Amino acid sequence: MHGLTSGRDPTTVRRMGQRPTVVLAMVPAFAQEVLDAELLDRLGEVCEVPDPDPLTTFEEPRAHELLPACDILLTGWGCPTVDAATLARAPRLRAIVHAAGTVKTHLGEACWQRGIAVSSAAAANAIPVAEYTLAAILLANKRIFAIQRRYREVRGFRWWPMEFPGLGNYRKTVGLVGASQVGRRVIELLRPFDFRVLVHDPYLSPQEAGALGVTSVDLDDLLQRSDVVSLHAPALPETHHMLDRRRLALMRDGATLINTARGWLVDGDALADELRRGRLEAVLDTTEPEILPPESELYDLPNVFLTPHVAGAMGAETRRLGELAIEEIARFVRGEPMRFEIRSADLARLA
């Protein structure tokens, strides 16, 4: 972990006793959500904030004034790319704290090569994603999505366990693909329930699986055994369409696929074929492309519960991102290790 005590000269951040300067870079609408007046005041207690309005490009006139004095860059959704040219204009920059999830879209290797500490609020964003996933798992095993459709049709009494044999959550098998921050949070949320939890993750050791209270299995085995499969793997070259036509065919008839990760992970055409046949159910918060064209059948298939990438922090939940980011900045200023620092070696495994 890095901080002011880990080889960085404190005078580069606290010059002549002055407080470090923070510059914001993100979409203004997001800044208003993630950093309310109280959080800005809290940030102002530990740092100088010369301009609370975020930069949206590093080429605007304000950037030429703010970057040379910037010690800490507080970024968020819509932050422009921090490349070598930008770094050259920010000689005092020692930390970049991202008040959102992935840093791959706006930070390059040059940041780590210069020794800049990088932190992300991905752990805070994982909380609502895991909550969404838990809700989807419980509803899927209860067959609520299908029962709701059927109830709308019959508008009367039915003995629902006969129409939907095996409905319910007791001792069902849940398969999680990826022991990521979200995946591990889902594991925590599943503990009070009587589930068998399988996990596939090539980086998960048997010892870690045992400590988490889950069973580590290969992907094919997980797909064959699970009543619900939930995806929490990063979008990497090796995970592209990891659920292809062959693997989707391994899933049990009537099983539910939940995707709150990335559409990248699933062969969309193969999944559409399975859904069109009615063999599987799906809860899809992410698709490929991210915004489906208006003619996509996924909008209308009765066995698809489709949402527009809202599982992550939205509305009131975004404040949690701001709180985490400011806590990280306060630690850095005090010379303490940041809790959620991202090292260059971690990038290959992260979303």
Per-residue pLDDT tens digits for 126-163? 999 999 999 999 999 999 999 999 999 999 999 999 99
When pLDDT is cut at 50, 70 and 90, the band that residue 345 belongs to is: confident
Q: What would the pLDDT profile of 32-42 be if each residue is shown by its tens digit?
A: 999 999 999 99
Segment 116-133 shows an average pLDDT of 97
Q: Cis bond leading into 289, ω under 30°?
A: yes
Is residue 223 within 8 A of residue 175, CB to CB? The reply is: yes
Average pLDDT of the chain is: 93
201-211 per-residue burial string, b: 16 or more CB within 10 A, e: under 16: beebeeeebee
Q: What percent of the chain has pLDDT over 70?
A: 95
- Among 179, 244, 234, smallest CA distance to 211 is for 179
Q: Domains plus CATH for the chain? A: 10-120+315-349 (3.40.50.720), 125-306 (3.40.50.720)
- Amino acid (1-letter code) at residue 116: I
Is residue 272 within 8 A of residue 137, CB to CB? The reply is: no
**Residue 7 pLDDT more than 50?**
no
When pLDDT is cut at 50, 70 and 90, the band that residue 347 belongs to is: confident
Element (H, E) at 286: none
> N- to C-terminal Cα distance for the chain?
20
Instruction: Sort residue 166 into left (φ over 0), alpha (ψ -120 to 50) or beta.
Output: left
When pLDDT is cut at 50, 70 and 90, the band that residue 18 belongs to is: confident
- Among 38, 26, 30, smallest CA distance to 74 is for 26
When pLDDT is cut at 50, 70 and 90, the band that residue 299 belongs to is: very high
- Quick one: pLDDT at residue 5? 33
- Amino acid (1-letter code) at residue 292: L
When pLDDT is cut at 50, 70 and 90, the band that residue 346 belongs to is: confident
- Among 128, 166, 129, smallest CA distance to 146 is for 166
d(CA 227, CA 119): 36
Catalytic residues: 262, 288, 309
Segment 49-58 shows an average pLDDT of 97
Q: What would the pLDDT profile of 87-96 be if each residue is shown by its tens digit?
A: 999 999 999 9
Is residue 122 within 8 A of residue 184, CB to CB? The reply is: no
- Quick one: pLDDT at residue 16? 37
Worst-scoring range by mean pLDDT, 25-29, 138-142, 167-171, 341-345? 341-345
Q: Cis bond leading into 192, ω under 30°?
A: no
Segment 306-313 shows an average pLDDT of 97
